[in-house]
Structure 1
Amino acid sequence: MTTKYQTIIQDIITGIEEHRFKRGQKLPSIRKLSEQYQCSKDTVQKAMLELKYQNRIYAVEKSGYYILEDQDFQDTTLSLNPEDFLQLPYDDFRTCVHESLVGREKYLFNYYHQQEGLEELIDSLYQLLMDYHVYCKKDQLVITAGSQQALYILTQMQLSSGKQEILIEEPTYYRMKTLLDEQKLPYQTIERTLNGIDLTQLETIFKSGKIKYFYTIPRLHNPLGTTYTRTIQEAIVQLADQYDVYVIEDDYLADFDAAKTLPLHYLDTHDRVIYIKSFTPTLFPALRLGGIVLPHYLRSRFLQHKSLIDYDTNLIMQKALSLYIDNGMFARNTRHLYQLKQAHEQEMRERLSRYHLTYPHHLTQDILTVQLPKEKISARLKHGLVNTQLITGQSYDYLQLSYNQTFPTDLQQMIEELEKIS
């Protein structure tokens, strides 16, 4: 005999599969469903929790339950091209923004600020970070206006006397380098190649006693796309502890790491790693929100600096992002974007297998990176290939080709030019 609990669940699932329920549609209230099925409110609530667990619906505080994925979405997602997919996170997030405003007039306009961030988003981020193997306490988290604000504040903080310099990889995220150059802050560089960094050189630099921070992108590095080996990761953490250096771990592409590499933060047992997570790569550039995990004894100092440059990180966006994470939209859309990138990588890998590329190279998601000695860069490689990008390093230069509709032709042209200089 089918129970009322099972009937409610099956009716809603059937409604989704038969296209009677649409994505974002609000379900009847608990009271109305209990009247419709002639059962207790507790039975309906139990059914709703089961449907939420199955990622069929999501809850909006003080509003009700909504359909997460309809059948139309499930039927068409796998055939979406990148341009189509970009609209989906926007539509979902717009729904979350709308729900963030419903019935919260007094809350939003009489809210006394918290520099550390909205409590709901702190809770959401705390749960999300565990998926990346970043384990921390909630009182270590701070919400920032994107990773750039977090990096700026860290560059302003003086942690120990006599240590003024920041160490960065070369090449590295261009905005970090610009941040240091524009402020005329002293820094050193350590060469990063497709094989990683020289650990002996890293120890020598740490041992000098000048470095307060080492800024690094351990996995899916920007711009090379590479990920440190476990040996290098463990050495960085060990040397940071040995020579009293903090490590800023920028983990902006954690969602797309197919190897599920452990972050430096996981390996750190002495509070040397400061972890930064941005939401821009998985949502859209206009969403300037990020999170940072700090050692307890640095958090208050970080918040003091933050209070000087903003009164509150956008409350409405914080509430919307919390809802976006909690109702499963973030995980779902990230999953589909990941699948899309994996498909691109597979196509690029198949195309590349048709050629004999003798230079060291790395292929990840949407980018092919070729490592070239300095003297090998010809004028044609530097200026003649329309869709390639040249990245300058210390011992090597890097030629990058991104995935697009013309990738097969672009790849052939690049290979032909590389064969000329071999």
Structure 2
Amino acid sequence: MTSKYQRIIEDILTGIEEHRFKRGQKLPSIRSLSEQYQCSKDTVQKAMLELKYQNRIYAVEKSGYYILEDQDFQDTTVSLNPEDFLQLPYEDFRTCVHESLIGRENYLFNYYHQQEGLEELIDSLHMLLMDYHVYAKKDQLVITAGSQQALYILTQMQLSNGKEEVLVEEPTYYRMRNLLEQQGLPFQTIERTLDGIDLTQLETIFQSGNIRYFYTIPRLHNPLGTTYDSKTQQAILDLAETYDVYVIEDDYLADFDPAKTLPLHYLDSHDRVIYIKSFTPTLFPALRLGGIVLPRQLRETFLQHKSLIDYDTNLIMQKALSLYIDNGMFARNTRHLHQLKQTHDADMKEMMAGTHLAYPYHIAQEMLTIQLPKGRMTARLKHGITSRQIIAGLSHDYLQLPYSKDFAQHLRQILEELTIS
């Protein structure tokens, strides 16, 4: 006679085999299972531990048990036991890396490379991008060794229209500017302030006829933290189509946009947007993995260039990242980080509420950014306040103060200096 302990195990295994339980799906609670099988909670717990030992489920503290694999994913058996999903993301990811190696000898030594990326991670990224309203076909996705590799390859590609220059916002992501300068590539700049960009100037630059890419960070801009409104987004796309320009949309902080702004890629109806997503801000800098969504007419050329740089983007890390995404760890840790940043931003906004600052400012991603006219940055602002950052723009300079336990004290010093000078 089959014991209730065995029945629980067999029923869950059968559910997996018959596709009733899917990867990452939460199982009923210990209490509900004990009522369903009319047995003690200890019996259910014992069955859960056995399934966990067999690498079929994993536990999330204060949440319950989840399916680790389904029948369509038998070749990726792993054993996860994250103790606390409120820990830093690398704790969970380290477990994924470790477990992705267990029992993989045959797979790793008989793997035939895919330049576009591991199929499992392509599938995971395809589903994840839908959460950002990026709807693309799988054959448009390519896994890269971080966003920097994607940007480098794009700058190396010769487009059919023969254009050579890259347009970047000023200020912009410093590594993009370094990439252009170190290679001696021709580029132009367009000023971006807390109010956005001058669309008339953008059209004038596009009219020059030599811009092949416009590199932009539409939401949660690095370094200003601002986001383009929908009118500006649509205008950029319309101009790109009119003047035959590809738009590189670097959406590295898509996970942390509280307004859930639609990306340029969603609004693009002419295959003008090249969408880049990095996992570094959500996980840790050492994880050099990213994804790019390419217009179909650029994909083959992109892969040809990529093949000259690497044979395979780190296979083990790709496998671990796929597991990390599909089992819900990415979503849980991202949600925690997002909530933490929102809490800190709310504290900063509360402290700024009664300041009556005479200059435009913006708060996002645990950073206060104050826009100052040229020549307004005093020596005390430059050297007398610790933790501050200064960004030089074209017609403005920007003083940035990150969130910290000393934020209120440093803010008072800044306000005093701006009032006196």
Residue pairs, 1:100-179, within 5 angstroms: 100-179=100-179
Q: Does 1:59 align with 2:97?
A: no
What is the one-letter code of the residue matched to 2:374? K
State the Cα distance separating 1:67 from its structure 2 match.
Answer: 6.9
Distance in 2, matches of 1:250 and 1:19, equals 50
State the Cα distance separating 1:57 from its structure 2 match.
Answer: 1.3
What is the one-letter code of the residue matched to 1:28? E
Sequence identity (%) = 67
Distance in 2, matches of 1:209 and 1:172, equals 22
State the Cα distance separating 1:191 from its structure 2 match.
Answer: 0.2
Aligned to 1:269: 269
Q: What stretches of structure 2 of length at least 5 have no aligned partner?
A: 1-6, 13-26, 35-40
- Whether the aligned pair in 2 keeps the contact of 1:274 and 1:295 (CA below 8 Å) is yes
Distance in 2, matches of 1:64 and 1:144, equals 25
Q: 3-state DSSP class of the match of 1:391? A: strand
Sort the Cα spacing of 1:229 and 1:55 in 2 relative to 1 into closer, same or farther, 3 A: farther
Q: Does 1:10 align with 2:29?
A: yes
Once the two structures are superposed, residues 232-264 of structure 1 have per-residue CA deviations (whole angstroms, 9 ceiling, x without a partner) of 000001110111000000000000000000000
Q: TM-score, normalised by structure 1?
A: 0.85
Aligned to 1:296: 296
Q: 3-state DSSP class of the match of 2:112? A: coil
Distance in 1, matches of 2:64 and 2:193, equals 42
Distance in 1, matches of 2:311 and 2:281, equals 25
Q: Number of aligned pairs?
A: 386
Aligned to 1:196: 196
What is the one-letter code of the residue matched to 2:190? I
Residue pairs, 1:360-379, within 5 angstroms: 360-379=360-379
Aligned to 1:394: 394
- Whether the aligned pair in 2 keeps the contact of 1:250 and 1:277 (CA below 8 Å) is yes
Residue pairs, 1:271-420, within 5 angstroms: 271-420=271-420
Distance in 2, matches of 1:119 and 1:415, equals 53
Sort the Cα spacing of 1:225 and 1:106 in 2 relative to 1 into closer, same or farther, 3 A: same
Residue pairs, 1:211-222, within 5 angstroms: 211-222=211-222
- Whether the aligned pair in 2 keeps the contact of 1:13 and 1:56 (CA below 8 Å) is no
What is the one-letter code of the residue matched to 1:288? R
- Whether the aligned pair in 2 keeps the contact of 1:26 and 1:64 (CA below 8 Å) is no
Q: 3-state DSSP class of the match of 1:226? A: coil
Aligned to 1:28: 50
Q: What stretches of structure 1 of length at least 5 have no aligned partner?
A: 34-44, 78-84
Once the two structures are superposed, residues 188-217 of structure 1 have per-residue CA deviations (whole angstroms, 9 ceiling, x without a partner) of 000000000000000111111010000000
What is the one-letter code of the residue matched to 2:186? P
State the Cα distance separating 1:99 from its structure 2 match.
Answer: 2.0
Distance in 1, matches of 2:54 and 2:381, equals 67
Distance in 1, matches of 2:80 and 2:160, equals 52
Distance in 1, matches of 2:298 and 2:107, equals 30
Distance in 1, matches of 2:283 and 2:132, equals 17
Distance in 2, matches of 1:267 and 1:412, equals 42
State the Cα distance separating 1:101 from its structure 2 match.
Answer: 0.8
State the Cα distance separating 1:351 from its structure 2 match.
Answer: 1.3
Distance in 2, matches of 1:244 and 1:107, equals 44
- Whether the aligned pair in 2 keeps the contact of 1:165 and 1:188 (CA below 8 Å) is yes
Q: Which has the higher helix share?
A: 1
State the Cα distance separating 1:354 from its structure 2 match.
Answer: 3.3
What is the one-letter code of the residue matched to 1:307? S
What is the one-letter code of the residue matched to 1:280? T
Distance in 1, matches of 2:172 and 2:204, equals 20
What is the one-letter code of the residue matched to 1:95? T
Higher mean C-alpha deviation, range 378-387 or range 242-251: 378-387
State the Cα distance separating 1:66 from its structure 2 match.
Answer: 6.1
Distance in 2, matches of 1:20 and 1:400, equals 57
